[in-house]
């Protein structure tokens, strides 16, 4: 199925109408209207929402899609992901439009910069323009974009076909290939009762599909038993891991199933309110998602007394993020929902006992909730008869990179990596990043390993790199990503990821020594062990894996000396020479 991502005339109005006075949405409206967020608007919002000005300012500065200084009327962000990005194209468009990266043109018409992965890894290179996605970029398309910009054509009037986004489902399985009748899961739940339905989820062996793999039935049970004035269900659709896009497809073509899974969870744990937290890069989905929710309310599948059951009340609200990878971590996501910076919480307590607004909260991935809806209809045994000994069911993969047919594939757990490579047409493979940059980097001698929690676990990202790739450049890209996305809360991650990025850059350009490699290993180990949350704890994974499995990547770039400085000191003095108008021998080192 394809979807059209045609720009709305005023996407902010849609969010305001459907979802409220949430700070992120109000800031988005200001950004859309004024192209930045001025101090006067911050003060006004703080007053309207009864929030401290310092809190609003902190939120503005935390999220990458908010800006204090004006952006262009046409704001273009190129993905810098190894699968859906191509920064040479960014520089090409900058040249055509006579603008520098990271700047706004003097006439205020356009600004161009880069951003992290935008979830289009099966159809890159891709970019965001005023929050809407263009895929399959070519030099010809860049010339057409430049012409539209120079003509002053509003983005809403650009050709609709430019904004087409494809599902690219290449292999159906237990979830993607099984028809789902809207309302069937809820009818099954009401017939069996909440306790029996919870037992089916436990029996199924379903574990969280976001990567951590915690038992879904146990999570629901803990939340159901926790005391609180209200219980909440949150669907984590902040799919920010580079190389991951399967949740995008589920929300595009299986939204009813996802929303039904949320409602099912609400029924089981005694919740009357659910939230879909949608990553900002997927804002284009809002019109259709709101339409699906409206159809469910009309059909009696949301709202009061669902399916005629007295007291079965449940509704869903959508909150849209604003560009922060860290908000994929469940406690950071909850902080964001509470109109704060997305900084992970200290745990315990865990969200199942003290989550959103201090109340018991289930946070589940999009795929997890879709699977739960199918399990409610077909039963736990139907699900757990698929998969491996310790990993029940199937896994939906986002396959991208150097293969003939990137896209979405569904496999039973236990499938070999080589089987996946054969199916997607990947040849002469140098390495695979399983689970995205925070996952595991493997080489050809491990391609017979199995997909599963007992071997290679993954949230869904499967990035393939052929022999022609500069793998060290790929790993450096990952290091830059983590340094950029660190929330800055803890020193090991805030400082350590930057030092790792700098160390990799030094080695990549041929100035590194054995000393630098040893220092980088020590720093990577420290960051992994001492960071506060999952971002820092996994940020060093690509470096540590590469040092272990691909040591020649580093050895081939090292200079043959014991030590070389991390910067060119003479070059660093150039500014001082210019200021002092000196360029004689004694002004150089």
Torsion of the alpha carbons at 448, 449, 450 and 452, rounded to the nearest 10 = -170
Check whether domain 394-469 has CATH 3.90.850.10, yes or no: no
The two domains 2-167 and 171-384 share their CATH topology (first three levels equal): no
Give helix 39-49 / helix 23-34 axis angle, nearest 10°: 150
Per-residue model confidence (pLDDT) at position 5: 56
SS3 for 114? Answer: strand
Domain boundaries, the chain: 2-167, 171-384, 394-469, 472-555
Give every CB contact of residue 494 below 8 A, 6+ residues apart in sequence: 486, 488
Check whether domain 171-384 has CATH 2.60.40.1180, yes or no: no
pLDDT in tens, 98-115: 999 999 999 999 999 999
Per-residue model confidence (pLDDT) at position 18: 45
- Across-strand partners of 399? 407, 462
Q: Average pLDDT in the 175-193 region?
A: 97
Pairing of strands 315-320, 429-434: unpaired
Question: CATH: 3.40.50.2020, 3.50.50.60, 3.10.129.10, 1.20.1440.230. Which one for 472-555?
Answer: 1.20.1440.230
| Superfamily designation of domain 2-167 | Glutaredoxin (3.40.30.10)
pLDDT in tens, 498-523: 999 999 999 999 999 999 999 999 99
pTM over 0.85: yes
Report the length, in residues, of the chain.
589
Calpha distance 210→213 (Å, rounded): 7
pLDDT in tens, 357-409: 999 999 999 999 999 999 999 999 999 999 998 999 999 999 999 999 999 99
Give every CB contact of residue 179 below 8 A, 6+ residues apart in sequence: none
């Amino acid at each position: 199925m394809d979807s059209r991502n045609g720009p709305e005339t005023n996407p902010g109005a849609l969010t305001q109408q459907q979802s409220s006075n949430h700070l992120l949405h109000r800031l988005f409206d200001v950004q859309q209207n004024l192209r930045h967020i001025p101090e006067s608007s911050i003060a006004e919002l703080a007053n309207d929402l009864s929030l401290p000005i310092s809190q609003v300012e902190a939120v503005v500065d935390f999220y990458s899609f908010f800006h204090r200084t004006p952006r262009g009327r046409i704001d273009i962000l190129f993905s810098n992901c190894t699968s859906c990005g191509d920064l040479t194209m960014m520089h090409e468009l900058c040249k055509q439009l006579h603008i520098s990266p990271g700047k706004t043109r003097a006439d205020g018409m356009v600004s161009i910069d880069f951003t992290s992965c935008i979830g289009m890894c099966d159809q890159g290179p891709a970019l965001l323009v005023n929050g809407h996605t263009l895929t399959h970029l070519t030099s010809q398309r860049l010339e057409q974009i430049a012409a539209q910009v120079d003509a002053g054509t509003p983005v809403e009037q650009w050709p609709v076909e430019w904004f087409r986004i494809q599902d690219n489902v290449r292999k159906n399985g237990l979830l993607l290939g099984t028809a789902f009748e809207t309302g069937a899961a809820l009818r099954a739940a009401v017939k069996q009762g909440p306790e029996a339905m919870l037992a089916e989820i436990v029996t199924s062996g379903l574990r969280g599909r976001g990567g951590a793999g915690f038992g879904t039935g146990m999570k629901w049970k803990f939340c159901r038993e926790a005391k609180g004035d209200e219980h909440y269900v949150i669907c984590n659709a902040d799919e920010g891991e580079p190389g991951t896009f399967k949740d995008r497809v589920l929300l595009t073509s299986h939204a009813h199933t996802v929303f039904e899974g949320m409602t099912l969870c609400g029924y089981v744990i005694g919740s009357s309110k659910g939230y879909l937290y949608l990553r900002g890069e997927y804002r284009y989905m809002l019109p259709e998602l709101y339409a699906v929710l409206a159809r469910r309310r009309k059909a009696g599948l949301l709202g009061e007394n669902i399916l005629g059951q007295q007291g079965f009340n449940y509704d869903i609200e959508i909150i849209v993020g604003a560009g922060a990878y860290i908000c994929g971590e469940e406690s950071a996501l909850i902080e964001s929902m509470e109109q704060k910076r997305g900084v992970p919480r200290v745990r315990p307590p865990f969200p199942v006992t003290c989550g959103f607004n201090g109340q018991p909260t289930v946070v589940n991935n999009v795929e997890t909730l879709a699977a739960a809806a199918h399990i409610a209809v077909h039963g736990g045994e139907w699900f757990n008869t698929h998969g491996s000994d310790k990993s029940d069911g199937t896994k939906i993969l986002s396959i991208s990179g150097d293969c003939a047919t990137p896209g979405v594939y569904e496999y039973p757990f236990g499938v070999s990596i080589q089987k996946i490579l054969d199916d997607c047409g990947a040849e002469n493979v140098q390495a695979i990043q399983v689970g995205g940059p925070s996952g595991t980097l493997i080489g050809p001698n491990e391609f017979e390993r199995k997909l599963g929690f007992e071997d290679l676990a993954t949230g869904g990202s499967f990035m393939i790199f052929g022999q022609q790739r500069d793998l060290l450049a790929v790993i450096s890209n990952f290091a830059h990503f983590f340094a950029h996305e660190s929330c800055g809360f803890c020193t090991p991650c805030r400082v350590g990821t930057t030092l790792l990025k700098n160390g990799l850059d030094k080695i990549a350009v041929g100035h590194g020594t054995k000393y630098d490699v040893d220092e980088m290993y020590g720093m990577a180990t420290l960051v992994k062990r001492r960071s506060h949350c999952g971002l820092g704890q996994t940020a060093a994974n690509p470096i540590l894996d590469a040092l272990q499995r691909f040591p020649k990547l580093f050895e081939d770039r090292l200079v043959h000396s014991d030590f070389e400085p991390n910067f060119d000191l003479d070059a660093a003095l150039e500014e001082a020479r210019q200021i002092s108008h000196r360029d004689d021998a004694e002004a150089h080192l």
